[in-house]
Amino acid sequence: MKKLTVSSFRKMKEAGEKIVMVTAYDAPTAAMAYEAGVEMLLVGDSLGMAVLGYKNTLPVTMEDMLHHCKAVRRGAPEAFVVGDMTFMSYQISTEEALHNAARLMKEAGCNAVKLEGGAEYAPLVGRLAACGIPVVAHAGLLPQKVEAMGGYRVQGKTEEAARQLLADAHALEDAGAFALVLECIPAALAEKISGELTIPTIGIGAGIGCNGQVQVIHDILGMSCYLPKHAKCYADAGSMIRKALGDYVAEVKAGSFPGPGNSF
Ligand code: KIV
């Protein structure tokens, strides 16, 4: 695949070409996603639920994130990799935010960082962008605010909330974000935002009118315990793995593995 940069994504939007993003947390899946043509790999803090066994994204640390970003970079050296800013890695102070974002780029080789929040984060997005750190903004449903919101709910449903989201999107673009993830908002609102912005929008539960789509890899491969409404299962890898492991257990118990072909 041709090496992609932040301007490639803007050009894709201008050309009407959809952008494909998926999460990746380890080297082999990063390599497979890159080979399949995925254009942006997101080491999302969904890492917490998908891989680390947490109930939400809040416990994920910068050290966890760096560890997995490095693995993804090793698996897909040429891919465009976005590292997520973890809960409280960018909220405490601008200095801490700059330091943590720089670590994702310098230590893990990320091409960009992503952070959750609306217009209130525009000044930070501006600082990061001014330092040469490309930022994917993330508006709509903000999983890092799950406790404050009392659950995961579709956002932007009232007229006022929709107006606020549109204002957030403009503020984040004006501050220098090069792309905007829109999570769980009505499709018509996402289409309106996508039409007004010049930067690409990447939707998850935000309908077909976005300039690209992002999904959690475990959801689309059938490896999650729960499939959100916005996701679609493209394979039942969970069943295949359970069946394969069941067969392995049965053969070891029966004494039929290893066979002559697996022995020296
Ligand atoms: O952490 C993540 O995987 C994300 C996507 C769902 C956009 O933020």
For the CA of 44, the nearest atom of ligand 1: 1
pTM: 0.97
Per-residue pLDDT of the chain (264 residues; tens, 9 = 90+): 889 999 999 999 999 999 999 999 999 999 999 999 999 999 999 999 999 999 999 999 999 999 999 999 999 999 999 999 999 999 999 999 999 999 999 999 999 999 999 999 999 999 999 999 999 999 999 999 999 999 999 999 999 999 999 999 999 999 999 999 999 999 999 999 999 999 999 999 999 999 999 999 999 999 998 899 999 999 999 999 999 999 999 999 999 999 999 999
How many whole angstroms separate alpha carbon 129 and alpha carbon 217? Answer: 28
Specify the 3-state DSSP secondary structure of 19.
strand
How many whole angstroms separate alpha carbon 187 and alpha carbon 155? Answer: 11
CA of 47 to the centre of ligand 1 (A): 9
CA of 245 to the centre of ligand 1 (A): 29
> Which of these is catalytic: 39, 116, 173, 183?
183
DSSP structure class, residue 143: G
CA of 236 to the centre of ligand 1 (A): 21
Residues 228, 70, 118, CA angle at the centre, nearest 5°?
50
How many whole angstroms separate alpha carbon 100 and alpha carbon 90? Answer: 7
CA of 57 to the centre of ligand 1 (A): 9
Phi–psi pair at 180, nearest 5 degrees: -135, 120
Phi–psi pair at 67, nearest 5 degrees: -55, -45
DSSP structure class, residue 20: E
Q: Before 258, cis peptide (omega within 30)?
A: yes
Closest residue (by CA) to atom 2 of ligand 1? 44
| Ligand 1 and 85: CB distance under 6 A | no
Told to judge if 160 belongs to the known catalytic residues of this protein, a careful annotator would answer no
Residue with tokens 């200095």, as numbered in its chain = 95
How many whole angstroms separate alpha carbon 14 and alpha carbon 197? Answer: 11
| Ligand 1 and 213: CB distance under 6 A | no
Query: Token digits for 216?
Result: 């959690």
